[in-house]
Structure 1
Amino acid sequence: MSCGSCGTGKDGQPKGCKNNGTCGTDGCNKLTVFDWLSNMSLPGNMEPFNGVEVRFKNGRKHFYINSENLSLSIGDVVATEAASGHDIGMVTLTGELVRVQMKKKKENPNTEALPKIYRKATQKDIDVWQKVRDKEADVQKRSREIAIRLGLQMKISDVEFQGDASKVIFYYTAEERVDFRELIKEFARTFNTRIEMKQVGFRQEASRLGGIGSCGRELCCSTWLTDFRSVSTSAARYQQLSLNPQKLAGQCGKLKCCLNYELDSYMDALKEFPKSDVKLQTEKGTAICQKIDIFKGLLWYSYTNDGMNWHELTAEKVNEIVAINKKGKKVASLEEYIEYTAAPANKELFSNVVGQDSLTRFDQPKSKNNRRRNKNKNKNKNRNQKSRSRNTKKNA
C-alpha cells in the first residue's frame, strides 16, 4: 500500500512520495516515520528540539544536532559531519519526535554530544554523491572477485560510498571469523580510498535484498519489520509444526520470524491443556497422550497395551481425570469420559460456491465407448461428404 502522492515515472521507476514522509498511510518505505506532531504548535515558553534524524543507505539512521538553526523538513538532503569529511543523507524526522526516538533507541537526548549538520546539500554535493553511488555496483562486483581470489569464506552483500567519496563501506556476511587484513590492502590499492568493513547478520542481508516468502507475500523484514527477535525451535513445537528445516527456514537461512507471531495465542490456549507427558491411570491400564488439537480442544489417548486404538477426550475431561489421579484414585476407563456427538444428517462436506469446474476433470482418461462414438461420427461425416461430391458431379 502506498499513498496517493506516489506515482510511477519513466521506465517503471517510482517517483517517490511528494508529501515528504507525512502521508497518512506511510507505505512508501518501511524506514519512514509518520510525523503526527507536524500540524501542532509548541507552547509559547518551549523551544523546539534541535535534534534531527537522518537516514542513509542500507537503513542506517543517525541523530544530528541542527546547530546552525536551518529550516529543515522531512525529505531534505543535508550534508552531515563524518569521521573525516562529510556525508550526504536525507532528513526523516525533526522536532519533538526525535527526542522520543532517541529515548526509544536508548540514546542520550543531550544534543550537545551529537555530530553536526553542516548545511543543506548543494547541487555540487548531490552530483558527487550521485556519481559515487553509480559506481557501487561495479565496485561490489570487483570486490567479490578479489575476495574469491584470496580464498576468503565471506560474501560481500553491498557497498556504500560516503557522500564526499572519501570512504567506502563494504557490508559482508560470514559464518566464521574472517581475517581480511590482506583484503583491505588489496581494496585500498584497487579503489584508492579509505576502506571500512562492516559485518551484518543474515536477517539484515535478507531485509535489504528483499524477495518473496513461501506465503506468497513480500518478506516481512523488507517491508515493515525493523527489529529482529530471536526465534527458537520451541516456537514450532508449541504450534505442533513438523521440525523440517526446509519448511521452517526463511530466505535468510534462519528460522522464520513469523513463527513468533501466533506463539502467544498458542501459549495461552495450552494453559487449559494438561501436559502431554502426563499419563492417565485407569483400571484398564495406563493411558498416554498421542495427539492434541488445540483449535478444537481435543486430546487423543491410548492404552499402553493397545496403542492402535485412540480415544478422543476433551481437555475438560482429561483435567478431571488428572485431578482424580492426583488424589491417588483410578478411573474405571477412558470410554466413560468420551462424549459422543451425533453427526448432522446430509451434511455437505464440500460445496462449489465459486461455480468453477473441477480441477481434476482432465485427469480422468476418456472411456472406450466415447472413442468409438467419435470414430463412427467421423466415418459418417466422410461418407456424407463423398456422396454430396458425387451428386454435384452428376448434376454438372
Structure 2
Amino acid sequence: MGCSTCSSGGCSTPAGCKNNGSCLTDGGCSKLDVYDWLADMALPSEFEPFNIVEVRFKGARKDFYRNTNNTYVEAGELVVVESATGGYDVGHVTLTGELVRLQMKRKNIPASPDLKRLLRKASETDVKKWEQLKSQEYDTLHRARKIIDHLGLSMKLSDVDYQGDRTKATFYYTADERVDFRELIRKLAEAFRVRIEMRQIGMRQEASRLGGIGSCGRELCCSTWLTNFKSVSTAAARYQNLSLNTLKLAGQCGKLKCCLNYELDTYMDALNEFPDHVTSIETQRGPAILQKTDIFKKLMWFSYSSAENWIPVEVSKVNEILERNRRGERPADLQEVPSEPTVKKIPGYENVVGQDSLTRLDDKDGNRRKKKRPGKNRRNRPPRKA
C-alpha cells in the first residue's frame, strides 16, 4: 500500500514521491526501509523470539522499544509507544525479530530494561488524531516563522514535528550563530499550548528534510536514499579534474555535493599510474608544457610554447621520458599518439527504395513555381504526330 502522492499505490503513472521518502506507508519508497532477510527463516521450536522492535517516526528518526506484552506486530503497522518525556507517540514498525538484535549490535545499543515500551497497536482513534496532527504541522510552521520574524532572530525554521498525543512539538532550525530563543519558546508555548523543544540541525539535514531537485535533474540523494553524510573536500574535485567553481560544486544545502565522493575511489585508482607533480617535460625541441590529463584514457596532452597543437602522449611514454630527463637525456620530439581507426558500421538491412529518408517528401526546389512562357497555352499546341 502506498501513499497518494507517489507511484507505489498501484497507479501506473510514476508521479514521484512528494514526501521525500517519509510518507510512512511502507510502500517501499522510504529511504529508511530495511530488507528483513531473516523473515523466512524458521526458528527452533523452543527458541524465544526477540522482544524488541524498531519503530520509525517522521524524518530520519528511529528508535527501539521493548514489546513487553508480546503483541504481534508486523513491519509497516502503526503502533503506540512510550515517549522519552512522558505521554505517548505514534510510529511505524520497521523491523521485528532477530534482525533487530543485529541492528542494535551494529549501532552499539545495549538491550537494557531501561528501553521504552511498546504500548499497543494504534487504534482508529489514534490514527485519526495522528493524521490530524500531521495536517496541522504546515500551519504551525508558518505561524512560528511569523513569530521569529517579529522577534528579529537570525535563524531559519525548517520543520516541525508534533508528538502523537500533542503534548510536545519539536521545531527544527538552522542558524549560523548562537541564538537566544528563550523569548521565542515563551511565545510559541502561548500560541500553540504545547511544550516546545528547539533542535538545531545542519544544512545537509535541512536539505534532507525539505527535499528538492538537484542540478542533475533528479531528486536529492539525501532525501531519497542517503542516510549518512560524509565529509566532502575540494580535493575530490581536483582529483576528478573538475572546475573549482563553488556555484557548480555546491548543492542545495550550500555545501559541497555529496556525489563528489561517489567516483572518487575510481579516480584515485586510475591516478596511481600517473606521475606526480608534472608540469612539463624536456625535449630537444624545447620544454613541452602539460595542458590536460585524460585519466581514464591514460593520456596526457602537451604543447610547445611556439605551437598551438596539443600532442597526446600515453602515460607509459611520459614516465619513460621523465626517467630519461632524470638521467640528463632529452628525446628529439614528442610523437603523437595514432588515432584509433574508425569502424564503419554496416546496417542490418539494405535500403532499396529509399523509404527511410526523412527528407524524401521535401521540395528540393524550395517551393518555387515554374513560370509559364507566353504563347505556350494548351489550346495553341500543335497536334501530335502519329
TM-score by length of structure 1 reads 0.78
Instruction: Give the structure 2 partner of residue 95 of structure 1.
Output: 97
1:96-111 matches, within 5 Å, as 96-104=98-106, 106-111=107-112
| Deviation readout 1:83-139 (Å, 9 max, x if unpaired) | 1211111111111111222233x2323242321112222233223322222211111
Instruction: Give the structure 2 partner of residue 390 of structure 1.
Output: none
Does the C-alpha gap of structure 1 residues 239 and 13 become closer, same or farther in structure 2, counting only changes over 3 Å? closer
1:241-252 matches, within 5 Å, as 241-252=242-253
Instruction: Give the structure 1 partner of residue 328 of structure 2.
Output: 329
Contact 1:203–1:252, Cα closer than 8 Å, also in 2:
yes
Contact 1:99–1:109, Cα closer than 8 Å, also in 2:
no
**SS state at 1:296 partner:** coil
C-alpha distance in 2 between matches for 1:210 and 1:74 = 25
Cα distance, 1:4 vs. partner?
Answer: 10
Instruction: Give the structure 2 partner of residue 341 of structure 1.
Output: 338
C-alpha distance in 1 between matches for 2:314 and 2:16 = 57
Instruction: Give the structure 2 partner of residue 41 of structure 1.
Output: 42
What is the one-letter code of the residue matched to 2:338?
Answer: T
- Kindly indicate whether residue 286 of structure 2 is the aligned counterpart of residue 289 of structure 1: no
User: Larger relative CO (CA 8 A, sep 6+): 1 or 2?
Assistant: 2
Contact 2:8–2:29, Cα closer than 8 Å, also in 1:
no
What is the one-letter code of the residue matched to 2:323?
Answer: A
The alignment yields a C-alpha RMSD, in angstroms, of 3.4
What is the one-letter code of the residue matched to 1:333?
Answer: A
What is the one-letter code of the residue matched to 2:92?
Answer: M
1:200-279 matches, within 5 Å, as 200-277=201-278, 279=280
**SS state at 1:137 partner:** helix
Gaps of 5+ in 2: 346-355, 360-364, 374-386
1:144-155 matches, within 5 Å, as 144-155=145-156
Does the C-alpha gap of structure 1 residues 238 and 356 become closer, same or farther in structure 2, counting only changes over 3 Å? farther
Contact 1:64–1:111, Cα closer than 8 Å, also in 2:
no
Does the C-alpha gap of structure 1 residues 144 and 314 become closer, same or farther in structure 2, counting only changes over 3 Å? same
Instruction: Give the structure 1 partner of residue 10 of structure 2.
Output: 7
Instruction: Give the structure 2 partner of residue 70 of structure 1.
Output: 71
Does the C-alpha gap of structure 1 residues 253 and 5 become closer, same or farther in structure 2, counting only changes over 3 Å? closer
1:377-396 matches, within 5 Å, as none
| Deviation readout 1:240-265 (Å, 9 max, x if unpaired) | 11112222222222221111111111
Does the C-alpha gap of structure 1 residues 320 and 91 become closer, same or farther in structure 2, counting only changes over 3 Å? same
What is the one-letter code of the residue matched to 1:131?
Answer: Q
**SS state at 1:288 partner:** strand
C-alpha distance in 1 between matches for 2:174 and 2:220 = 19
**SS state at 1:119 partner:** strand
C-alpha distance in 2 between matches for 1:194 and 1:264 = 47
Contact 1:6–1:28, Cα closer than 8 Å, also in 2:
no
Specify which structure has the higher proportion of helix. Answer: 1
Does the C-alpha gap of structure 1 residues 345 and 66 become closer, same or farther in structure 2, counting only changes over 3 Å? closer
Does the C-alpha gap of structure 1 residues 30 and 343 become closer, same or farther in structure 2, counting only changes over 3 Å? closer
Gaps of 5+ in 1: 349-354, 359-368, 381-396
Cα distance, 1:277 vs. partner?
Answer: 3.1
Contact 2:207–2:222, Cα closer than 8 Å, also in 1:
yes
Instruction: Give the structure 1 partner of residue 134 of structure 2.
Output: 133
Instruction: Give the structure 2 partner of residue 194 of structure 1.
Output: 195
> Higher mean Cα deviation, 209-218 or 226-235?
209-218
Contact 1:282–1:334, Cα closer than 8 Å, also in 2:
yes
TM-score by length of structure 2 reads 0.80
